[in-house]
Amino acid sequence: MERQERYICVIGASNWDMFTYCDRIPVIGETIKGTDFKVSFGGKAANQAVQASLLNTKSLGDDVFGNNTLNNFKIRGVSVEHVNIVPGVPSGCASITVDKEGSNNIIIVGGSNDLLGEQDVIEATKTIQNASYLLCQLEVNLKTTLKALSIAKESKCKTILNVSPVTNDTEMLMNMLGCVDILIVNEVELIKLSNDHQVDVENLESVHHGARELLRLHIMVSDVIVTLGAKGCVLVNRLSIDKYQHIKHRDNATMGKPVVDTTGAGDSFIGALAHYLTTSMLPLAESIERACNVAAICVTRYGTQTSYATFLELSPEDQI
Ligand SMILES: Nc1ncnc2c1ncn2[C@@H]1O[C@H](COP(=O)(O)OP(=O)(O)OP(=O)(O)O)[C@@H](O)[C@H]1O
């Protein structure tokens, strides 16, 4: 039967996130005392699917991982139609260190995420092609991601790629970006992808220049969104390439609360963006503005998925 509802398909990784909180991040060879330790569910694809689902959009995950993670998806309202468990293979794992300013560094071990293959994606063809948006990141095998993007491209499904963690495989990147509608990069990824080490992320003109360079290099991409942490985002659209829009969360989005942990803010932003694009069909810039408001909430709380805002927590104008 044809699927009538609008939903997001998310293909990528799910991890166990292990957080160590400390006053400052240690340098190589140094041992320091931490202030706290927490374990929670994470992984970019899983985070993005959960954030979209918490805002009431149906998301479908495609991944391989353990029973606890599967239960977490069910509790959070993410459909697990194409999720498999691989016996005897450890789940993916992310070791995250967070300093007292809320900044972090992260090491990821793929585990079962590395087993997500092209065949898994081929088996989900109908699900991908009937989705409104396909969300991909680069935490799983790049060939798998390319396959998913190319399957989506053969249909009306729009594609969003978050080039994170950034890859050095430029040929694969070119191929993937040939199937992408909306490209999302952070400051570090912008510098790497635009091959422009002059990009100064403190200067919005310079960010615009880098984003324009990405649109020039990758002609199928219609929009580039550069996320800039607390400074919000820059959006550049191919049809008005000489202009950029700087979009930020509204002043009271954090309700005066301090920033304690920025981990997973990018995934909250992307999951929320996909939600607004799918359910409200608002123009991209307006969807981005609301996604910034959603992501601003998560940085005031600890953890990744545990910090994400639910629909009822949003201000009325963002409850779409
Ligand atoms: N300190 C902050 N205050 C308010 N909003 C924030 C803050 N940090 C991040 N955000 C929101 O989250 C979005 C994504 O953040 P960022 O640019 O840090 O992504 P990222 O580098 O991909 O993050 P991560 O990899 O840690 O998930 C920003 O565009 C902004 O809307």
Count of the separate structural domains present in the chain? 1
Is 228 a domain residue? Answer: yes
Residue nearest to atom 25 of ligand 1 (CA): 266
pLDDT by 10s per residue, the chain, length 320: 444 689 999 999 999 899 999 999 999 889 999 999 999 899 999 999 999 999 988 878 787 778 888 889 989 999 888 888 888 888 899 999 999 988 888 899 999 999 999 999 999 999 999 999 999 999 999 999 999 999 999 999 999 999 999 999 999 999 999 999 999 999 999 999 987 667 888 899 999 999 999 999 999 999 999 999 999 999 999 999 999 999 999 988 888 899 998 989 999 999 999 999 999 878 999 999 999 999 999 999 988 999 999 999 999 999 99
Residue 60: helix, strand or coil by DSSP? strand
Residue 37: partners with Cβ closer than 8 Å, 6 or more residues away: 18, 19, 20, 21
Token output for 102: 């809320």
Residue 32 located in a structural domain = no
Query: Does 22 fall in a domain?
Result: no
* Residue list, annotated binding site: 15-17, 43-47, 139, 186, 227-232, 261, 263, 266-267, 298, 301, 303, 307
Annotated binding site for substrate: 15-17, 43-47, 139, 267
Q: Report yes or no on 202 lying in a domain.
A: yes
Amino acid, single-letter form, for residue 111: G
> Which residues share a beta bridge with 64?
84
DSSP secondary structure string for all residues of 84-119: B--TT-PPEEEEEEE-TTS-EEEEEE-GGGGG--HH
CA distance 130 to 132: 7
Query: Residue 184 CA: which ligand 1 atom is closest?
Result: 22
Atom of ligand 1 nearest to the CA of 47: 27
Judge whether 35 lies within some domain: no
CB of 162 within 6 A of ligand 1: the answer is no
Could you give the CA distance from residue 253 to residue 250 in angstroms, rounded to a whole number? 5
Nearest CA to ligand 1 atom 1: 230
> Ligand 1, from 15, 227, 261: best to mutate by most atoms within 8 Å of Cβ?
227
pLDDT of residue 83: 87
Question: What domain range includes position 206?
Answer: 8-13+43-91+113-318
| ipTM of the prediction | 0.98
* 37 in any annotated domain: no
In this structure, what CATH number is given to the domain that contains residue 175? 3.40.1190.20
User: Does residue 99 belong to any structural domain of this protein?
Assistant: no
103 burial type by CB count under 10 A (0-12 exposed, 13-18 middle, 19+ buried): middle
Measured from the CB, is residue 232 less than 6 Å from ligand 1? Answer: yes
pTM for the complete prediction?
0.93
Shortest CA distance to 142 belongs to which of 159, 121, 111? 121
Q: Is residue 24 part of a domain?
A: no
Return the active site residues: 267
